[in-house]
Structure 1
Amino acid sequence: MADEQIILYRERQRFRQLWLWVVVLGVAAIFWVGFVYQVLMGGLYGNRPVPDVQLSILFVLVGLGLPYFFYSMSLTTEVQPGQVLVRFWPFHIKPVRIPLHLVRDYERVTYNPIGDYGGWGIRWGFKGKAYNMSGNEGVKLYFYNKGPLLIGSQNAGELFQAISEAKKAKV
C-alpha cells in the first residue's frame, strides 16, 4: 500500500447549529405553506400571488432545495503522511491538498468564529482563511509563503496529533 493511502485521521462535519436550521427550515416553510395552500388547496397565497407553475418551481428550489443543500454540506478533513486534505462539499469537487512541507508551524487554537472569521464555512478574515462547520476549536497552519489557514475540528487535539505524525512521516 502506498504511503498516501494511509489515513492518520479523518473527520467529517456537518452544520449542527440549531439557529441555522431554524432559519433554513423557516424560510422553506414559507414556500411549503404557499404551495399547499395555493397549488394543492386552490386558494390564492399572498397579496400578489404568482402562477401555480412558478410557485411550484420556487417550492422545489427553496422549499426542498435549500434544506437539502444545507443538509448535504460537509467538511471532510483527512490527514495522510506528508499532507492534509480538506474538502468542503459541494464547493470543492476535489479535496484541497495542503503539503505539510510548506507548513512552517501549526498550533491547536480556540477561536471566535464570528469575531475572527465572520462565521462558519469557507471564510476569509483578518486572521487568514478558515474552513469550519461548527464549534470554536481547530488547528491553525502557518505557511512559509502565504497567510495562515485554520481548519475547524470537533476533535482538535486528535487533528493536531495526526498533523504532528504526518509532518514527521517520510513520504
Structure 2
Amino acid sequence: MDNEILFKERQRFKQWWLWLALLGVNSLFLFGVFKQVIGGRQFGDKPMSNSGLLIASGITLIVMIVFINFKMETMIKKDGIYVRFFPFHLKFKFYAWDTLTKSYVRPYSPIAEYGGWGLRKGLLGSGTAYNISGNQGLQLEIKNSEKLLIGTAKPQQMAELLKKLGQEKL
C-alpha cells in the first residue's frame, strides 16, 4: 500500500481527578432528583424546582457523556499527518509534508503555553494545541505561519519515525 499508516495513536482523557469531579457533580444532582422529585422531600435549604433539578441533572449527564466520547487520534502516513479531536472534528485534518516548515517532537508546558489540555489556543503566539494529557507533542509549523502542537503519549516512537521518513524539520 502506498499510503499505509506508519504511526497511529488514540488518546482519551484519563485524569482521575477529572472523572472524580464529574462523578461527584453527577452523583450530587442524581441524589437530589431521587430525594426531591421521587421521594417528595426537599433537597437543601433553598431547593430548586423539580424541573430545574431535572434540567441541571440532564446537563451534567450530557457533559459527562461528552467527556466520555472525547478522543484524539493521530496518524502519520507517507503523505503527511492526520489528526482528529472528536467531537470537535468529525473528519481528520490533514497536513501534507510539503506544507510544513517545521515538524519535530518537543516537551511543552500545557498550562503555561496553552492554558491547559483539550483543544486550546496558545498564549503569546504559540499557536493551537490538541492535547489530552502529558507534556510531549509534535510541533508543526505550516507555511502560512500557523503553529499546531499535537500531544502524544508516544514521543520517542513519533520522533524516530519522523527521522526515518526524513521529515524531522527543526
- Letter paired with 2:17: W
Residues 43 and 108 (structure 1 numbering): CA distance in 2 closer, same or farther, change over 3 Å?
same
In 2, distance between residues paired with 1:135 and 1:30?
30
What is the alpha-carbon distance in structure 1 between the residues aligned to residue 163 and residue 110 of structure 2?
Answer: 24
Task: Tell me which residue corresponds to 2:47.
Answer: 49
1:39-68 deviation line (CA, Å, top 9, x unaligned): 222211234434434423332331x22222
Equivalent-residue separation in structure 1 for 2:16 and 2:64 (angstroms):
13
- Other-structure match for 1:160: 159
- Correspondence 1:76 to 2:73: yes
> CA offset at residue 124 of structure 1?
1.2
Gaps of 5+ in 2: none
Q: Is 1:134 equivalent to 2:128 in the alignment?
A: no
Which deviates more, 136-145 or 43-52? 43-52
One-letter identity of the residue aligned with 1:68: I
For residue 164 of structure 1, report the CA deviation from its aligned partner. Answer: 4.0
Q: Which amino acid aligns with 1:72?
A: N
Number of matched residues?
165
- The question of whether the paired residues in 2 share the 8 Å contact of 1:83 and 1:166 is answered with no
Deviates more, 1:80-89 or 1:43-52: 43-52
Residue 108 of structure 2, aligned match among 106, 111, 114 = 111
Question: Matches of 1:167 and 1:60 in 2, distance apart?
Answer: 50
How much does 1:143 deviate?
A: 2.1
Contact 2:104 2:162 in 1 (8 A): no
Asked if the contact 2:82–2:95 (Cα under 8 Å) also holds between the matched residues in 1, the reply is: yes
In structure 2, the CA distance between the partners of 1:167 and 1:31, relative to structure 1 (3 Å rule), is: farther
Which has the larger displacement, 108-117 or 136-145? 136-145
* 5+ long unaligned stretches in structure 1: none
What residue is the counterpart of 1:31 in the other structure? 29
Report how far residue 166 of structure 1 moved.
5.0
Select 1:90's aligned residue among 80, 87, 91.
87
Taking structure 2 as the reference length, what is the TM-score of the superposition? 0.87
1:96-137 per-residue CA deviation (whole Å, 9 max, x = no partner) reads 111111112222211110001110011111211111000001
From 86, 96, 100, give the equivalent of 1:99.
96
- TM-superposed CA distance for 1:34, in Å, is 1.0
Identity percentage of aligned residues: 36
